[in-house]
Chain A
Amino acid sequence: MEWESVIGLEIHAQLLTKSKIFSGAPTQFGAEPNTQACAIDLGMPGVLPVLNREVVTMALKFGLGIQAEITRKSVFARKNYFYPDLPKGYQISQYELPVVGTGHLDVTLDDGKEMRITIIRAHLEEDAGKSLHEDFLDLSGIDLNRAGTPLLEIVSAPDMRSAKEAVAYLKTVHALVRYLDICDGNMQEGSFRCDANVSVRPKGQSKLGTRTELKNINSFRFVERAINYEIERQIAILESGGTITQETRLYNPDKNETRPMRSKEEANDYRYFPDPDLLPLIITDEMLEQAQRNMPELPYQKRDRFMKDYGLSAYDANILISNRDLADYFETVVKQTEGQAKLAANWIISELLGALNRNDLEITQCPIPAAQLAKLVKRIHDNTISGKIAKTVFEALWNEKRDVDEIIEKQGLKQVSDTSTIEKMIDQVLAANQEKVIEYRSGKDKLFGYFIGLLMKESQGKLNPQQLNEILKKKLQG
């Protein structure tokens, strides 16, 4: 039987506020345990939450970014359950009335195809703390630094049909929150994380299969692997006549498998009800207009502009805008190369991204400053060096972090464009290879490349290739 997988994602984006969603405590990552939790985060008797207005602005930006309906009167509710890292015994979240209603995102897949993913809702909530199960012998430690950190939970419709589509969607949301500057997108630190709802059904069937929810997937790669593992697991069960249990499963990246979480935690009845400590969140026209005014250029808008202004292909533009920092890097380079956009795009996409990938670095960690890459592009454009030599310069730049001109100068990589020098070298080479010259002249055209090779080797690749071609052709014709 042919199977179809159905995937929906719940993304938790930690909002980039200085303080927590309901208290004034700082949100910085990596501080000593329990140093960033105030009486409110600790759930002390008598404390009350006060909404951080900044999170509302951020949620509105996201809502506008996915063309969503904005709920003018949304409500914070309490989700009640007991856990040691949940100090109040309930999480404040939005339940029936989320601030961001239904919207959508257009996602470009690897093969260039576009698909539209519906985002059912996005709501504000507070994060819980962390339970630390190591280093305490038989006990567990509780770190409440993260408790009360603002989250935007972004819930997609089950619109995706493969792990690849899910990853493409996840990356698109990631790019969007980075563009909006509402989340740092750091998956390792957990400030951008995702749960995946996965089910399979026979192809052609409209009814959805029983789903499982995958948790603990903290990189794009793991999302793809975890979903693929889960799809295969479910198909194997169904094909052997079994049924899928609706449950939450944890992904283990070391073993590349998913395992059920303790089923007890599943039996929770969260007893949601409106939080009486918080008034309904009212979004006024003014707030909406202000958010609209503060909207940055969105990824798809940037892509269209790159294609129009710089003449880039859709493919190249999509790569460059996939990450706001990369797009910024590209534009910085272009600005300093007097409009050599295509050349700059080529160098960034083929050389720079390749090197970053090989070294597992983000664009923000790139050892080559945009100004140096711009200089490199300029030197190629003004024929100071050839494209081939440029790769040598690029490597030196990557490794030594020096100035492009200095590298060219010191390593003597400047292109030779002086006609008499080139002629002299050609004469020498031809004189030393009389037989081959005769062969060539008797019709063996292929030897042209042989001479080029010899000359480039002799000159260490520095001869201006165009000039070399022309002059060599002339000389060989005799």
Chain B
Amino acid sequence: MLKTIAELSQALQSKKISSLELTQFYLKRIKELDQDLNCFITVTEEQALAAAKTADQKIAAGQAGRLTGIPIAQKDIFCTKGIKTTCGSKMLHNFTAPYDATVVAKLNAAGTVMLGKTNMDEFAMGSSNENSHFGPVKNPWDKNCVPGGSSGGSAAAVAAGLVPGATGTDTGGSIRQPAALCGITGIKPTYGRVSRYGMIAFASSLDQGGPFARSAEDTALLLNAMAGFDEHDSTSVDRPIPDYTATLNNSIQGLRIGLPKEYFEGLNPEIAKKLEEARHEYEKLGAQFKEITLPNMNLSIPAYYVIAPAECSSNLARYDGVRYGYRCENPKNLEDLYKRTRSEGFGNEVKRRIMIGTYVLSAGYYDAYYLKAQKIRRLIRDDFVNAFQSVDIIMSPTAPSTAFKFGEKTKDPLSMYLSDIYTISTNLAGLPGISIPAGFNSHLPIGLQLVGNYFEEARLLNVAHAYQTVTDWHTRMPESK
């Protein structure tokens, strides 16, 4: 039963298996394996079984779509009506959302069966999942290692076969980096392609939701359901959604792939080797490679760590203990309520970013930090626009290393921030990016990142799928237990 969504979909349609059986199978795996892995914050068994039965009825009635009856998991950043939505934080440990996020509503409407809500770095701030109030998630390939973050629960759950697909969000690499570290496929769409409504905000101008699954084909199926304009999100873009599965098998003959030289300077040799192998595979498929330059790449981390904290400092101001969520005990007065609620309710990384963000927006510092970072952001965007004049796709590593050990980077935030060095610039530019498995360094997976032009998710998925038709890295699974 540990198959891809595409395969499970066929099995469901041909009634070889029911959604209820499938759901029970995965719920059982979660029960067996997740005590240890800690991928889920909430498992919604009862609702899942009910949804599976409904799905089976639809299948029986011939009203099923390709995702009807497919079990999935939602990152606990997406609001789910009547279900606890914590965002990985003590601040929302008791928060039950009164509404469904658009992504949740769309996936529900597509007939998927939600098994639960996955663990994550608190408010999506982190690259290792060590910042969760609900404890770290273990990497299924090596339980002494992190799964990456912030969407570590979703990535690890898919990698461990606890669920065939899951949602994530990506602000600086939070889908692609854990996908790489867990050896699965994850796509961050163009900013504005997937609605942010009901997706708890970290940095509004960078956040973007997207799917995880084993294969590019599976993420295409999930993205079909997730993407689209939403009148509740002013930054979502009103343009038609192609069927992302329709072009998966297009030829990539003549495809121009750019290799940004800045991404390969000082790169880990094992990762470089795997990228070189991938290059050969692509060349065999008819792609042409070209070195390109993204000259402002070295500014992306500093710019990001001004813009993202600035937005986060404002986005997280609403968690004040007044209306919902955590509230300190016996506040003496209003100031005490604010101070203690926020001191006790937020973890260290969140507090660090709120402080940075508050600082860079302060009177007298705004121009020097925030405004300058926005100018850099424009330069980075222009670099990509220039690059896409001469190439169709940009290829790079997803992360500078494979999964690292727990505690290895927690003492040094800067080294943690560097985990996203290859992914952050695409968020700043708003471009779509995908990470696909490209081999292993010893027992740990290595991710390959492909970045496409705006709204070229279909091409990105086509190129990723082409690679997966000639390689089997994405089918590898860690041993259970």
Contacts and interface: CB of A to CB of B under 8 A. Distances in A.
Interface of B, secondary structure class, is: loop
B97 A45 contact: yes
A63 to B, nearest CB: 22
Interface stretch (A78-86, A353-361, A465-473): A78-86
A39 B361 contact: no
B200 A271 contact: no
Interface string A262-303: 000000010111001111000000000000000000000000
Contact of B200 (A45, A50, A89): A45
A47 B197 contact: yes
Interface string B84-97: 01010000100101
B318 A49 contact: no
Interface in A51-101: 51, 78, 80, 82, 84, 87-90
Contacts of B200: 45-46
Contact of A88 (B79, B95, B101, B317): B317
A277 B97 contact: no
B355 to A, nearest CB: 12
Interface string B350-365: 0000000010011100
Nearest to A51: B234
B440 interface: no
Nearest to B334: A84
A48 interface: yes
Contact of B201 (A46, A82, A273): A46
A93 B78 CA distance: 27
A253 interface: no
A271 B358 contact: yes
Nearest to A45: B200
Interface residues of A, number: 28
B318 A89 contact: yes
Contacts of B320: 82, 84, 89
Nearest to A34: B323
B407 interface: no
Given A42-B323, A271-B361, A273-B361, A89 B317 contact: yes
A291 B205 CA distance: 32
Contact of A90 (B79, B317, B358): B317
A236 interface: no
Interface in B433-462: none
B99 A45 contact: no
B472 interface: no
Nearest to A279: B234
A468 to B, nearest CB: 76
A447 interface: no
B429 interface: no
B234 A50 contact: yes
A-B pairs with lowest CB-CB distance, top 8: A89-B317, A271-B361, A276-B205, A276-B204, A46-B198, A43-B318, A45-B200, A46-B79
Interface of B: 78-79, 85, 87, 92, 95, 97-99, 101, 196-201, 203-205, 231-235, 310-311, 313-314, 316-318, 320, 322-324, 334, 338, 358, 361-363, 366, 370
Interface of A: 39, 42-51, 78, 80, 82, 84, 87-90, 142, 269, 271-273, 276-279
Given A48-B233, A84-B322, 5 more contacts: A88-B317, A276-B311, A277-B204, A278-B234, A279-B234
